[in-house]
Amino acid sequence: MNNAKLPPFLIQKLEKQYGKEVTSNIIQGYQAKRKTTFRVNNLKAKTSEVLEILEKNNISYKTITWSKEAFIIENVTEKEIRNLSIYQEGKIYLQSLSSMLPPLVLEPKEGNDILDMAAAPGGKTTQIAAITNNKANITACEMNKIRAERLKYNLEKQGAKVYVMLQDARNIDDFFSFDQILLDAPCSGSGTILLAKNEEKELERNFTNERIQKIAKTQKTLLKKAIRLLKPGKEMIYSTCSILASENEEVIQEIQKEENIEIVPINLKGIEEIPLLPTKIPEVLCVAPTQLYEGFFIAKIRKNAHSGTGTK
């Protein structure tokens, strides 16, 4: 088995947070070969049309209770899915199940001004466009030019109507204000490790005390900016593909001391099907890495109407 070893720093951090038994389960999740999953793009196709193509090609699939658009592929590889016309025509989007959760928890509404603060490559942005039937005013922010081009390509392929802003979200003018915000913040990626694919040296570089502290600092700056841009009384999502409290609950708890916000309990139909890790804040979700799911953190935050920041 060509599995990379986890850095001792990460193992210690996980054991301190979760204990040895839960950490052992997390490591099993890192060792699992993750299944290919996709979402039907209802801007371009009906689910029945997509499933007909799968059946014609003898591709078996499973459904998910929390989304009518999400499917798990049982018997073929991602490469084989990419060869299908439904993929090439943007009728489906290859996306991890965990990554589909933040837009669903956001519950984006038609007619709303919505900001996706760190949008590339566009999985969640195109999902928001699909949920709102292209009838929301979506702004997608991306600071890296190459990643922004990839974002634009995916938006076009999926038929998503979105305004792309090539800018560091930390520098968005406070003149702007939004009804809903998705901040899928940059993180260490501690939820997405695949020991069969990740390299040991890469893992050692990614998981150091200095790097985690630097990432958390960026996350706090982005979250504070998001709260400033969010209209009072409105809601946003803070999510990461990390399972470390120092990038998740602790970031929120620190910002909560400075901002007039509250954590909103997540109400998602079929949530009992999702493997969850224990959290310091009861209202949030931390998805455990398994064969089906990447490790992921999701918090729903409401800016109180009497908040002193942002546009009134």
List of domains in the chain? 8-30+98-303 (3.40.50.150), 35-95 (3.30.70.1170)
- E strands present in the chain: 37-40, 61-64, 67-73, 92-94, 113-116, 137-142, 163-166, 178-184, 230-240, 261-264, 285-287, 296-303
pLDDT for the residue numbered 2 = 55
Q: Given the DSSP bridges, would you call strands 285-287 and 178-184 parallel, antiparallel or unpaired?
A: unpaired
Please, where are the H alpha helices in 32-134? 47-56, 78-82, 85-88, 97-106, 123-131
Structural tokens at position 235: 């809601």
pLDDT band of residue 1 (cuts 50, 70, 90) is very low
The mean per-residue pLDDT over the stretch 126-141 comes to 98
The mean per-residue pLDDT over the stretch 170-187 comes to 96
Among 238, 224, 6, residue whose Cα is nearest residue 101: 238
Please give the span between the terminal C-alpha atoms of the chain, in angstroms, as a whole number: 58
- pLDDT at residue 10 above 60? yes
| pLDDT, greater one: 107 or 310 | 107
Question: Which entry of 141, 187, 241, 286 is annotated as an active-site residue?
Answer: 241
pLDDT for the residue numbered 307 = 45
What is the pTM for the complete model shown?
Answer: 0.95
Alpha-carbon span 194 to 205, nearest angstrom: 15
**pLDDT digits 0-9 by tens, 219-254:** 999 999 999 999 999 999 999 999 999 999 999 999
- pLDDT at residue 34 above 50? yes
Q: Reply yes or no on whether 187 is catalytic.
A: no
pLDDT band of residue 188 (cuts 50, 70, 90) is very high
pLDDT for the residue numbered 4 = 79
- pLDDT at residue 273 above 90? yes
Each residue of 158-197: b (16+ CB within 10 Å) or e?
bbbebebbeebbeebeeeebbbbbbbbbebbbbbbbbbee
pLDDT for the residue numbered 66 = 97
The region of weakest confidence among 27-31, 179-183, 293-297, 303-307 is 303-307
